[in-house]
Structure 1
């Protein structure tokens, strides 16, 4: 079955993650959605960044929650990736919404909303007032915050990120506020997906990086694949033959890690 392609932090294999450059590259490649992360700045603005600290992806230092937007906007968020992206800035969520409106869907992950008072309410208010020409979805690992988001913005599809198995009881109870589940690919099985579909969930797998994993996820029947690069579906019989070898390589790397 066909699946929706979801660009993990934008086309982050080809441009600095969570920047307008990465999102524009994802649109150019034809992704169905971009996936991005948000955190709250010191002055309570929704900033598009994965880490709590700016050190890994900028030339600055400090926690997002301790920096104002004015301070954040001075940081270079592109040079670490490539000199070609020197001067790329950390975007605000409202900037991304305006830039990609009508071009691709957006999946917004709330990072640690339970530790950032007001994040869920601010996001819900922003999305309730924004009238996009594309589909927007919101996800988080934190169940209570997703439940709260659904109550505040019931028209925006909400979903849970999962890194552990769910039983039938939880599948049934979470359906009250979640319409999709983003699941670590190692947890996925055909039986789980069949059970989830009975409750009406869409299932997205994260984060796919190996060529054979795209084919594996397609065979399982996921509805969306979150990946760093453009979607790749092997159709060569030669590739089918070498897939077990590649999986073995990964297995031994895991043992030696």
Structure 2
């Protein structure tokens, strides 16, 4: 069965990576949410995609240069013309405390490719442990060194490798990384690749799958999950898929 992960929450219809987007994902019937984590100047794990706050908030500057208190004053719904009021950038703890009593899974993408956040892995793992979410959490990153470190620090939490281009001999690489899943750009995914992965016990979860034709293709391939900006729409298409 293909799971539906709401990419940055329901980012197509709500301000991305906010509690409003995550709550909509739950209401829409998503199986899980995907979010991005970085560290503030004072070392707090916060949920935001870009390394700067410029695109998604009414502020400007680098996440790493702002304290948690400074970040919380920004409005992550500022670009939505008042439709969602004031949505602060969430702390990872806030999201996982909300998620724990729900049935949702969570994919935590560590955003440490451009900025080498010190102890990001340890801090994210600590919050997952605090809420007992080891079995419902997947860590992912384009920084595969970070995923290898997560495996060493917390082998009980699944790791998945994010990538944009097709990998040569991916299975040898995945085995060396001790990863349990791959999160490829959807254009690189073929039916044969999915079958090969699943035969080897490797989960395939393509990103970011939004167009009706692509969503239906991924369902037909029986991928383990898709990441989508519109979980409500994807759920409707899934229910119509034979």
**CA distance change for structure 1 residues 29 and 133 in 2, over 3 Å: closer, same or farther?**
farther
- Give the CA deviation at 1:166: 2.0
State the partner residue of 1:245: none
- Give the CA deviation at 1:144: 1.0
- Give the CA deviation at 1:172: 2.6
Q: Which has the higher contact order (CA 8 A, sep 6+)?
A: 2
Mapping 1:199-238, distance limit 5 Å: 199-229=200-230, 230=232, 231=234, 232-233=236-237
Taking the aligned partners of 1:89 and 1:134, their CA distance within structure 2 comes to: 28
Given that 2:151 and 2:157 are in contact with CA atoms closer than 8 Å, whether structure 1 keeps it comes out as yes
- Give the CA deviation at 1:72: 0.4
Q: Does residue 1:126 correspond to 2:127, yes or no?
A: yes
The 10-residue stretch of structure 1 (95-104 or 17-26) with the greater mean CA deviation from structure 2 = 95-104
Q: Secondary structure at the match of 2:80?
A: coil
Taking the aligned partners of 2:17 and 2:76, their CA distance within structure 1 comes to: 9
Give me the TM-score of the superposition, normalised by structure 1.
0.86
Gaps of 5+ in 2: none
Given that 1:102 and 1:134 are in contact with CA atoms closer than 8 Å, whether structure 2 keeps it comes out as no
Corresponding pairs, count: 235
* Cα deviation 1:104-133 (Å, max 9, x = unaligned): 111000012562122112222332333139
**CA distance change for structure 1 residues 11 and 215 in 2, over 3 Å: closer, same or farther?**
same
Given that 1:159 and 1:178 are in contact with CA atoms closer than 8 Å, whether structure 2 keeps it comes out as yes
Given that 1:50 and 1:111 are in contact with CA atoms closer than 8 Å, whether structure 2 keeps it comes out as yes
Mapping 1:49-198, distance limit 5 Å: 49-103=48-102, 104-112=104-112, 115-132=116-133, 135-168=136-169, 170-175=170-175, 176-198=177-199
Q: CA RMSD in A?
A: 1.9
State the partner residue of 2:19: 20
Give me the TM-score of the superposition, normalised by structure 2.
0.91
Gaps of 5+ in 1: 238-257
Taking the aligned partners of 2:99 and 2:107, their CA distance within structure 1 comes to: 12
State the partner residue of 1:41: 40
Given that 1:138 and 1:156 are in contact with CA atoms closer than 8 Å, whether structure 2 keeps it comes out as yes
Taking the aligned partners of 1:221 and 1:47, their CA distance within structure 2 comes to: 33
- Give the CA deviation at 1:70: 0.4
